[in-house]
Amino acid sequence: MYLMVIAFFVLIKCTFILKTKDYLCLLINEIHKPINIELKFENIESNNIVNNILYIVQFIYNITLYVDLGGCNMLKKIITVLSCAAILASPISAVTMNAKTLPLFKGAEGCGALAGTNLTTTTYHVTNLNDSGKGSLRDAVNEPNRTIVFDVAGTINLKSELAFKSNLIINGQTAPKGGITVTGESSSFNKSQNDVIRYIRFREGVTGGEQKCSLYIDNAKNIMVDHVSIEFGKWDNLHMENSSDVTIQYSIIADGIHSQYSGAILQECDNLSIHHCLWADNRTRNPKAKSNLQFANNIIYNWEVCGFVGGHSSEDHYQDLLSNYFISGNKSSSTFIGECTSSDHIYNSNNYFDGNKDGVLNGRLITNNDISKAQATVQASPYVIPIVPITLQDPTQAYNTVLNEAGDSLNRDSEDLSVIGKLKSLGK
């Protein structure tokens, strides 16, 4: 019987449209071509076999799957269709793959790429810009297990720290034109797990607490920060401590207020990926890496005292520097990597430094001798191995990607446009 079913699907091109209670749940236009599938199942006692099948099809056909487990009396037929397509097109070894390794969205990479996966959430609509109360962002993030969307755009002025619970998916890209800015006080992912936050601007500003940062990610696990701007911190823009399995990607960390620090401090974190971010106009700490860190395809611009800062700790830390571009601005010293000790183990691969401030991107390769001069220990191989590898670019390509994508690139406001504009000057 099963052989007959397989033969049937091999011989014909087919389109299946199956409807559930709420919406169209499956569309396959041609069984041997890449497809997009949206599934909703109800009342399934065990979803392990479904997850395995979805995983196989995802990787064989390069498709995007949106899965909402609920009920569908056509389950056996769906599994048959997907099984036939997957098994006929793939080696047997593919069948052992596990759906849990799929990121929540396309482009999620690094150590925190699996944040937000396998969650059951309810949708909360942010309908106003109030500091608190029904429909506010504070009310939205005050309970776990939510997917948060925005029906409004504008600036939210905080009167106290904004604390995020666990299992939250915050989709700032759903806001209308202009996007969302959070200002006035710090925002914090403290002891949070499985949070994803995208396309929002965090700017503490001068009204925030003394020695406070714009964004905290402390004692947290499985966090994805994507297309976010983190600016105007009174101490550092970003503070991370005792956290693990975190990715910060396609973001802007810039214009810290503090005259001594202002970039970011990464303290005793493990499995941390920061890639395709713009670090601009911070006095130093771009970042200070007292952690085990994968730092890839970042653009570091116009530091004053120092660009990348080592942990200079009594404990060993491992920092993998991969295809970054350090570009001097009009305030920059010549110290693009510094304040290291032998406890900082730096793996250096294809990083560049442009220090001539001539308005042209024409830097030189950073050598292991540069790392040694910074008093760090040269590491022979990368230390951090993320669960989803970063798609590395050449540093010049990364520069262009960061120009186009860093921060809330869907709604860049005057501040972020200014940061990008200064970077384009390349120090001239």
Please give the structure tokens belonging to residue 325. Answer: 């571009």
Domain count, the chain: 2
Do residue 159 and residue 233 come from a single domain?
Answer: yes
Nearby residues of 124 by Cβ (< 8 Å), 6 or more positions away: 139, 140, 146, 147, 148, 149
Which among 222, 223, 170 is positioned nearest to 201, based on CA atoms? Answer: 170
Kindly state whether residue 400 falls inside one of the protein's structural domains. yes
Kindly state whether residue 111 falls inside one of the protein's structural domains. no
Amino acid at 47: N
Report strand pairing: 377-378 vs 344-349. parallel
Which pLDDT belongs to residue 101? 63
Report strand pairing: 215-218 vs 187-190. parallel
Do residue 127 and residue 91 come from a single domain?
Answer: no
- 285 as an active site residue: the answer is yes
Kindly state whether residue 297 falls inside one of the protein's structural domains. yes
For residue 338, the number of C-alpha atoms closer than 13 Å in the C-beta half-sphere is 12
Kindly state whether residue 35 falls inside one of the protein's structural domains. yes
Q: What is the dihedral of CA 263, 188, 144, 243, to 10 degrees?
A: 60
Cα–Cα distance, 407 to 420 (Å, whole number)? 10
Do residue 241 and residue 155 come from a single domain?
Answer: yes
> Residue 424: what are its φ and ψ, rounded to 5°?
-60, -25
Count the neighbouring beta carbons within 10 Å of the beta carbon of residue 213. Answer: 29
Strand partners, 398: none
pTM, 2 dp: 0.79
Count the neighbouring beta carbons within 10 Å of the beta carbon of residue 130. Answer: 16
Cβ atoms 126, 135 nearer than 8 A: yes
Do residue 134 and residue 80 come from a single domain?
Answer: no
Kindly state whether residue 89 falls inside one of the protein's structural domains. yes
The pLDDT profile of the chain, 428 residues, written as one tens digit per residue, is 433 443 333 333 333 333 332 333 323 222 333 333 444 433 333 344 444 444 444 444 344 343 333 333 344 344 434 444 443 343 333 333 344 468 999 999 999 999 999 999 999 999 999 999 999 999 999 999 999 999 999 999 999 999 999 999 999 999 999 999 999 999 999 999 999 999 999 999 988 777 789 999 999 999 999 999 999 998 899 999 999 999 999 999 999 987 777 899 999 999 999 999 999 999 999 999 999 999 999 999 999 999 999 999 999 999 999 999 999 999 999 999 999 999 999 999 999 999 999 999 999 999 999 999 999 999 999 999 999 999 999 999 999 999 999 999 999 999 999 999 999 999 99
Q: Taking each helix axis from N to C terminus, what angle separates 48-61 and 75-89, rounded to the nearest 10 degrees? A: 40
Q: Which of 201, 285, 364, 412 is catalytic?
A: 285
Secondary structure of the chain in HEC code, one letter for each residue? CHHHHHHHHHHCCCCEEEECCCCEEEEECCCCCCCCEEEEEEECCCCHHHHHHHHHHHHHHCCCEEEEEEECCCHHHHHHHHHHHHHHHCCHHHHHCCHHHCCCCCCCCECCCCCCCCCCCEEEEECCCCCCCCCCHHHHHCCCCEEEEECCCEEEECCCCEECCCCEEEEHHHCCCCCEEEECCCEEEECCEEEEEECCEEECCCCCCCCCCCEEEECCEEEEEECCEEECCCCEEEEEECCEEEEEECCEEECCCCCCCEEEEEECCEEEEEECCEEECCCECCCEEECCEEEECCEEECCCCCCEEECCCCCCEEEEEECCEEECCCCCCCCCEECCCCCEEEEEECCEEECCCCCCCCCEECCHHHHHHCCCEECCCCCCCCCECCCCCCHHHHHHHHHHHCCCCCCCCHHHHHHHHHHHHCCC
> Residue 384: what are its φ and ψ, rounded to 5°?
-90, 125
Kindly state whether residue 115 falls inside one of the protein's structural domains. no
Please give the structure tokens belonging to residue 71. Answer: 């009920």
Domain end, chosen from 70, 101, 132, is at 101
Cβ atoms 404, 383 nearer than 8 A: no
Please give the structure tokens belonging to residue 77. Answer: 């037929």
Do residue 30 and residue 89 come from a single domain?
Answer: yes
Do residue 83 and residue 141 come from a single domain?
Answer: no
Domain end, chosen from 101, 136, 154, is at 101
Range of the domain at 38: 2-101
Please give the structure tokens belonging to residue 65. Answer: 């799957």
Do residue 183 and residue 312 come from a single domain?
Answer: yes
End-to-end CA distance of the chain, in Å?
A: 73
Domain end, chosen from 68, 101, 134, is at 101
Cβ atoms 349, 323 nearer than 8 A: yes
Do residue 143 and residue 237 come from a single domain?
Answer: yes
Which pLDDT belongs to residue 96? 36
Do residue 147 and residue 271 come from a single domain?
Answer: yes
Do residue 63 and residue 134 come from a single domain?
Answer: no
Which pLDDT belongs to residue 258? 76
Nearby residues of 44 by Cβ (< 8 Å), 6 or more positions away: 50, 69, 70, 71, 72, 75
Do residue 196 and residue 90 come from a single domain?
Answer: no
> Residue 409: what are its φ and ψ, rounded to 5°?
-70, -15
Kindly state whether residue 396 falls inside one of the protein's structural domains. yes
CATH number at residue 308: 2.160.20.10
Kindly state whether residue 112 falls inside one of the protein's structural domains. no
Do residue 89 and residue 155 come from a single domain?
Answer: no
